[in-house]
């Protein structure tokens, strides 16, 4: 008797290995996959502008980077004793204007370099609900605790989502034709919008995303949303807030992602890195013992051997 559904998954041809460069953009769920890539020391850059939840905000940042449109004074504002930008997450700010512009443009240049060099780009879309700033009539990435009355809340239509994703991928392909673009919908529920409203939002995202995918064979879809909702289907796989997947769920999604996108040849190296990570986290009973000092020497040798294979690997 089957007690659980299982989504059929097949390995992709353009898999990620230790020579790959992976760029990750989107909602907080992309950071969970990014954390796994970082733990296993794959080359990656995750959310340089902080968590970005919706397709229009991601499109704006990609367009700005590829077209070399630097951030200027007109793109930032002063609030609560700090400078902010509606195009990036609220955790990116600075007390001085010039300092803040330097931070933004340094991140923009890093972002552009990764867009041009990336072998894989992962987009995770979180919501179709957006906020439009009344003064400029522009959709923002984050409201930065600016009073709610200054915004209009809107639901992106399927067509608007489709257009934003299509423009994003077309721009990227114009400068990096060989990149593999992986898309997914975040299983994190935005219940502040409401239960029904969250479901509507996810439906718009999925419809818009698949409309683009069906018209462009170069775009891949990974079913992280479906794994959480259809395979796991149980609140024991959520954190106490009943909104975010817990570590067990994240590990299961990572294992599924690895099956599809991580090369089999890299598995042995992952095991070695995991052994080193466990060794670095080990807390000895007696740090001065001969046994522990010999353990440290051996651990350092293993780290040096990895660095000789891949210079980007650091611990």
- Using CA atoms, how far apart are residues 142 and 79, in angstroms rounded to an integer? 14
pLDDT at 3: 59
pLDDT at 264: 94
pLDDT at 190: 92
- Using CA atoms, how far apart are residues 204 and 285, in angstroms rounded to an integer? 55
Query: Can you give the C-alpha Rg of the chain in angstroms?
Result: 21
Say which CATH architecture domain 21-264 belongs to: 3-Layer(aba) Sandwich (3.40)
Q: Rounded to 5, what percent of the chain is helix, strand, coil?
A: 50, 15, 35
Pick the closest to residue 182 from 281, 252, 258 (CA basis). 258
Q: What is the pLDDT of residues 10-54, one digit of tens each?
A: 999 999 999 999 999 999 889 999 999 999 999 999 999 999 999
Reply yes or no on whether the pLDDT at 1 is more than 60: no
Residue 21: CB atoms within 10 Å: 18
Q: What is the mean pLDDT of residues 243-250?
A: 93
pLDDT at 2: 63
Residue 1: CB atoms within 10 Å: 2
What share of the chain in percent tops pLDDT 70? Answer: 98
pLDDT at 233: 87
Pick the closest to residue 171 from 18, 68, 265 (CA basis). 68
What share of the chain in percent tops pLDDT 90? Answer: 88
pLDDT at 283: 87
Quickly state the pLDDT bin for 180 (edges 50, 70, 90).
very high
131 touches 143 (CB < 8 A): yes
pTM: 0.93
Reply yes or no on whether the pLDDT at 63 is more than 90: yes
Q: What is the pLDDT of residues 119-152, one digit of tens each?
A: 999 999 999 999 999 999 999 999 999 999 999 9
Reply yes or no on whether the pLDDT at 228 is more than 70: yes
- Provide the residue count of the chain: 315
Structure token digits, residue 154: 């809107």
Pick the closest to residue 272 from 235, 309, 227, 236 (CA basis). 309
Q: What is the mean pLDDT of residues 255-263?
A: 96
Quickly state the pLDDT bin for 5 (edges 50, 70, 90).
confident
pLDDT at 37: 97
């Amino acid at each position: 008797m089957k007690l659980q559904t299982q989504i059929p998954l097949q390995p992709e041809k353009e898999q990620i290995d230790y020579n790959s460069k992976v760029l990750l953009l989107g909602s907080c769920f992309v950071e969970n996959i990014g954390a796994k890539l970082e733990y296993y020391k794959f080359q990656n850059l995750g959310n340089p502008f902080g968590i970005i939840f919706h397709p229009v905000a991601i499109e704006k940042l990609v367009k700005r980077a590829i077209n070399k449109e630097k951030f200027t004074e007109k793109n930032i504002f002063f609030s609560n004793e700090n400078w902010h930008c509606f195009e990036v997450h609220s955790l990116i700010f600075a007390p001085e204007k010039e300092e803040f512009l330097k931070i933004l443009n340094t991140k923009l240049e890093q972002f552009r370099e990764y867009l041009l060099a990336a072998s894989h780009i992962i987009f995770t879309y979180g919501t179709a609900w957006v906020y439009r700033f009344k003064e400029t009539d522009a959709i923002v990435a984050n409201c930065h605790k600016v009073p709610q009355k200054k915004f209009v809340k809107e639901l992106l239509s399927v067509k608007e989502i489709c257009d934003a994703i299509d423009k994003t991928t077309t721009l990227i392909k114009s400068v990096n034709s060989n990149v593999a673009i992986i898309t997914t919908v975040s299983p994190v529920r935005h219940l502040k919008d409401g239960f029904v409203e969250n479901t509507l939002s996810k439906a718009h995202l999925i419809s818009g995303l698949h409309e683009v995918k069906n018209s462009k064979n170069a775009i891949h879809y990974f079913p992280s949303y479906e794994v959480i909702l259809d395979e796991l289907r149980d609140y024991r796989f959520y954190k106490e807030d009943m909104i975010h997947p817990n570590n067990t769920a994240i590990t299961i999604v990572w294992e599924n992602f690895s099956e599809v996108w991580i090369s089999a040849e890299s598995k042995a190296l992952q095991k070695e890195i995991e052994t080193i990570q466990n060794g670095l986290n080990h807390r000895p009973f007696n740090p001065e013992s001969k046994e522990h000092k010999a353990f440290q020497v051996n651990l350092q040798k293993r780290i040096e051997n990895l660095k000789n294979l891949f210079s980007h690997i650091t611990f």
